[in-house]
Structure 1
Amino acid sequence: MITAPLPSHSFCLIRHGETTANADAIIAGVTDVPLTQIGRDQARALSQRMWPEPIAVYCSPMTRAQHTTQLAFPRRRFEVHGGLRERDWGVFEGRPLNEQPAREDTPDQGESWPDFLMRVQTVIAEICAASQGTLPVLVCHSGIIRAARVLWTTGDVGQRPPNAKPLLFQRTGNKISEKNV
């Protein structure tokens, strides 16, 4: 298991709504793909959610994450953070998901797994430090959530996270646990 410094407090990660690439089982790390109607409906459903504490909303610069954020938090200001973008799968972008290389392999013209983990660790630590007094809610991607699991919870990527479902990474003492909220 990787040992990464813990973020200063709890944070919530939300994978964007379903996209055309999700529906077609296509690799779309840095490829900008739109939400499907289902994805837009998933994001709108989040707007009905009552949050138990003040939140600060951040999102990936990818259109699918920004659109999800706009629909899920229609009256709330949010900050776009470049570090929340999905992993670049290089030459595998746009190919069928069943052709995706092993996570630990560095795809030609893509981002390595260690570099991606370091980026995720840095960006979440920065956002948590800047969000004192609020729960940071980050609308991001499957890869970001899986990296957070490797860095701070089980040490394993786990199953693909569901679209548009908040996952709380709750810090208790020197541990972080993932919970559906």
Structure 2
Amino acid sequence: MTQSLHAGYHRPRMLRHVGRFSPVRIHSMHHQSGRHIRLLLAPGLSLYDALVRPLAEIGVTSASTTILGGQFARLEYCVAPPDPSGHAVIAYSPPIDAGAAYLVFGNATLGKDMQGKALVHCHASVRVASGEVKGGHIVPQASVVGAQPIPVLVTALEGFELRQALDDETNIPLLKPFKES
């Protein structure tokens, strides 16, 4: 291939895990059923509250969601470059203020943090006011839904829950499946 075919593309980054090798890279569980829910994120609420509150009301504490796109009055995100200290595989950047932005598409996972509180982990592509498309980890508590509801497809995880736990291989906390307690 010629160099011109690669113009505009970045070389993929190589990350080396800092911890003990685990032969089980993906931890998974399944259940015979799971509810599918259509949800509208309420205007004026943070992404965190707009997801957590209505799902908690119907007993959903672990879920996989697809955010179909919509305007945020305020949106913050961060990126995850390699950890310069070498202590972990990545280190999140400080939050980047995107201001009013359009979330093009996102996936959010709902689980529990290490203290048992609701945790929302969201990856998304956003279009900022300048028209540029950015992407990264959305800061759910700091990102506020705009004037119109935003549609979300939710798959409730039944028979098990997602809990944050330290991953020995990456040396960062990850959401992992556990049998419900």
Give me the TM-score of the superposition, normalised by structure 2. 0.24
Q: Which has the larger radius of gyration?
A: 2
Which structure: greater strand fraction? 2
Which structure: greater helix fraction? 1
